[in-house]
Amino acid sequence: MSFFGNKNRAPSRPKRSPTPNSGTLSRTNSRGSASNEEGAISKPLYLCSPFADSALVKGNFKTIVMLPKYVDITEWVAVNIFDFYTHLNEFYGVITECCTQQACPTMSAGTNLNYLWTTQDRKQVLLSAPTYIDSVMSSIQTLLDDENVFPSKSGQQFLPTFPATVKHIYRQLLRVFAHIYHAHYTEVLHLRSEPHFNSLFAHFLAFGWKYELLDVKEIKGDINAPVGVGLLWERWKNTGILEA
């Protein structure tokens, strides 16, 4: 029987939830970066203590990402990708009112980094973050609902193209994580959800690293356009949190 078949195959898109606006975080700018006495921007809040180390999981993710006994590795990857998508979709639903066409005119993930969306005719276009993320989530949902791509019935086999498909899904989910950290970490802090979000992202990274879904270039970016969360990945990797 398919391990993936026990999951709800069509999670509803989360409703827009207002972000609490009572109180403000002092000494931050609109992108959630700490400032020094002169007002110059230093590093992002998600790289600052105690926020960078806030987590629900203590230690590393070695046990959590380990392939369970008697479980097929493809099934294990499939069900985890489904879970990552579902949890990230729920997180984004909480802060979506802050991710608007006006506030996020590009899919930014670093000081000089804006992701481009590739259309069906292979053209790359610049989209606003909410449009880009909606396209990502909708396209992934379509794949999850496709029995040929994510089979849920006993005896069905995964297609030979599944590894490439799941790597593409992982890459797009990584970009959504990167945008939320870069542009909306202040909202995550306002909701006091940084332990949950950090743990979800660390689990996502550890799993991607263990099962070769994570492309180092995608998490680090280019020299002139680095991915903001690349430094968070380096920090957690160096402290052993991502050991898998």
Let me know if residue 166 belongs to a domain. yes
Mean residue pLDDT across the chain: 84
Distance CA 89, CA 83 (A): 10
Query: Quick one: average pLDDT of 74-79?
Result: 96
Residue numbering of the annotated binding site for Zn(2+): 99, 104, 179, 184
Distance CA 96, CA 130 (A): 8
Residue-range definition of the domain harbouring residue 187:
60-238
Could you tell me which residue, 89 or 25, shows the higher pLDDT?
Answer: 89
pLDDT of residue 135: 95
Distance CA 125, CA 167 (A): 21
Contact in structure between 89 and 203 (CB atoms under 8 Å): no
Distance CA 234, CA 3 (A): 33
Let me know if residue 26 belongs to a domain. no
- List pLDDT tens digits, range 24-60: 333 334 455 554 444 445 788 999 989 988 888 777 8
Let me know if residue 6 belongs to a domain. no
Let me know if residue 169 belongs to a domain. yes
User: Measuring CA to CA, which residue among 176, 162, 174, 163 is closest to residue 203?
Assistant: 174
Residue numbering of the annotated binding site: 99, 104, 179, 184
Domain CATH code at residue 199: 1.20.140.30
pLDDT of residue 12: 44
Whether the per-residue pLDDT at 128 is higher than 70: the answer is: yes
Whether the per-residue pLDDT at 193 is higher than 80: the answer is: yes
Whether the per-residue pLDDT at 1 is higher than 50: the answer is: no
Let me know if residue 83 belongs to a domain. yes
Assign 222 to helix, strand or coil: coil
* DSSP state at residue 15: P
Whether the per-residue pLDDT at 85 is higher than 90: the answer is: yes
Let me know if residue 19 belongs to a domain. no
Domain count along the chain:
1
Whether the per-residue pLDDT at 203 is higher than 70: the answer is: yes
Let me know if residue 3 belongs to a domain. no
For the chain, percent helix, then strand, then coil, each to nearest 5?
50, 10, 45
Whether the per-residue pLDDT at 244 is higher than 80: the answer is: no
pLDDT of residue 49: 87
User: Measuring CA to CA, which residue among 192, 180, 176, 178 is closest to residue 228?
Assistant: 178
Let me know if residue 122 belongs to a domain. yes
